[in-house]
Each structure stands twice: as C-alpha cells, then as structure tokens.
Amino acid sequence: MKRKVIQIADSTQLVSLPRKWAKLNNVKKGDEIEVEENNNRIIISVNKESNPERVEIDASNLGIMLTRCVHALYKRGVDEIRFTFDNPELIKKIQEAMGKEVVGFEIIDQGKNHCVAKHVTGQFEEFDPILRRIFLLLLSMGEDIATCLKKKDYDHLQNIVFLEETNNRFTTACRRYLNRRGHTSPSKTGAMYYIVEDLEKLADEYKYLCTYFYERRKESVTVSEKTLELLSNVNQLLRDFYELFYKFDMVKLTQIAKLRKKYIEAALTALEEAETKYDRVTLHHILTVTQKIFNYLGPYLVMEL
C-alpha cells in the first residue's frame, strides 16, 4: 500500500492513514497513536492498553486443557474472557485454572451457565527487570540443586521446587507483555518470546530433578562426583549465557557452543558408564539443560547481529 506525502508549510509532512485500518482500530479525530522509528521504517500502532481484547470460550469439554487455554489467552494479552458451560461446577475449575499465574484477573460476573473473568488489577511492570529476575532465579535453582545433591540435603529440594512457580509467574507476565506491547525493537519480539518461553521450560527441568530426589530421599541415594561436577559445569554454562545476554561477546558465544559439545559428549559417555539410576536421571536432565542453553543462541543472534 502506497501513500503520497503531503507537504504543509516548510517543515511538516503528512501521510494519511488507511481508512479500513482506522475503522478497524476505532481511531478517531484527536486520538493519540504510537509512532516508532525503526531504521528506514515508521511503525504506527494504536495504544493497546486502550483497545482491550475480549473473547468467549466454551469450557464444557475442555477438560484437562482448561488451564492451558486460560493461560494461553492471558499470555496473548486478552483482558476479558467470557466462559460458557453446561455444568455450574466448572466455575470452581475456572478459578483454579486462573490460579497464581493469571495475575490481576477476577470473576466479575457469573450465572448458571456462564461467568466472566476480567483483568481488573495490576499494571505491567517494566519488561527488563522481570526478565533479569527470571535469569537470576534459574541460576539460583541450578546452583542450589547441585549443592543439595553434593551435601545429600534432599529435604531442601522441596523448597527449590516452589521457585518454579515464581518462574511461571515471571515468564507468563513477560509473554503477556510481549504480546501486548512487543519488544522495544519490533523485529526482536519473536526471538525474545522464544527465549522467555524456553526459560520457563528450563525451570521445569530443575523442578523434575528436585522432585525425583525429594521423593526418594529415604533411599540410599548416591550421585557420583563425576556427575555432580558435570552438573556444576552446566550451571556455569547457564551463567555464561546470562552474562552474554547482557553483554554481547563473540568469544564467549563461541565458547558456549564449544562447551555444549564437550558437555554433551561427556554426559553421553557417563550415561554408558553409570552404575545407578540416580546418575542416569541426573545425566538425562543435564543433557536437556545443556541443549536448551545452546538453543538460546539462535534467537539471541537474531536479536543481536
């Protein structure tokens, strides 16, 4: 779509907005719109905060997928969800689905076959501080797990599991932010969303490892020094990526790629030699965490190069 530039006096140039776009986004005379410069492009958008999204969903047959559907709509940036259902008892399940992650949503209306949940409290925090807290929380989880396994302090692992819930709230908030407002550089939004999405899954790996050992804390649990050393190395690899993320360094980036290959090979060899199920389970999670850290490099390069 092309538009001619209109010259007003000597310094002002105007371009008209497409009528169809303006009607669709309810843009009227006197409204403020966002105008962002991005190299040779100008990006024009309406203020999403003043243009809330409302959806209706039939919860009758969602079953175990109800929670995931609610979380997906929240992350998308929806402000109001009208649920319909054939069983009034589903209201309780909807409340449980909103749980701790859907921050700021409350049921504002309900009847025999419907209820309405709306975002009524809580404004967006700045994105960057939340993201940094996600990184720091994950670093803490990994290092605390290694310490607990080394000291055989399996009871404390249950406390680390609770950090995964905090990570869920942070990563969910960040994904909602990206869908509502986008990255400050729009071309980076997709890559950033991928990283945040997978940082949530990284916490799951730590949670599964904690749960496994906590549930077997009364057994004669033993993890070899070789496996523990590899776990500490992979925790350091995550710290390396954290430092790289906030300060681009091609040498560090290349080093992460080299260490990933080294640790994968070491973990596979250790798996072949492992004498206990405890080592095998730990090595499985080491392999997964190592590969996830490496996978962050792709979207990170999309943002930085």
Q: β-pairing, 33-38 with 105-110?
A: unpaired
Q: Which residue has the tokens 């560090």?
A: 252
pTM of whole model > 0.85? no
In a domain, 147, yes or no: yes
Cα separation of 294 and 259, whole Å?
A: 9
What pLDDT digit, counting tens, does each position of 39-59 carry?
677 777 776 555 678 999 999
Same domain, 13 and 61: no
Task: Pick the last residue of a domain from 70, 93, 119.
Answer: 119
**Together in a domain, 134 and 185:** yes
Is 1 a member of any domain?
no
Is the same domain home to 86 and 166?
Answer: no
DSSP state of 68: H
Q: Tell which of 119, 142, 170 closes a domain.
A: 119
Q: How many domains does the chain have?
A: 3
Structural domain contains residue 172? yes
Asked if residue 115 is part of any domain, the answer here is yes
Percent of the chain with pLDDT over 70: 95
Q: Are residues 276 and 211 in the same domain?
A: yes
Distance of CA 257 to CAs 24, 105, 179, 261, 295, Å?
47, 42, 30, 7, 10
For 236-280, what is each residue's pLDDT tens digit?
999 999 999 999 999 999 999 999 999 999 999 999 999 999 999
219 belongs to a structural domain:
yes
Q: The domain containing residue 43 runs over which residues?
A: 6-48
Query: What residues have CB less than 8 Å from 244, skipping those under 6 apart?
Result: 252, 253, 256, 300
Tally of CB atoms within 10 A around 128: 11
Which of 263, 239, 75 lies closest to 170, judged by CA? Answer: 75
Q: Do both 87 and 213 map to the same domain?
A: no
Q: Tell me the per-residue pLDDT of 78-107, one tens digit each, with 9 for 90 and over.
A: 989 999 998 888 888 898 888 878 878 888
Q: What is the CATH number of the domain that holds 73?
A: 3.30.110
Q: Is residue 107 part of a domain?
A: yes
Any domain includes 291: yes
Q: Residue 7 above 90 pLDDT?
A: no
CATH of the domain at 294: 1.20.58.220
| One domain for residues 170 and 32 | no
Specify whether 233 is located in the same domain as 255: yes
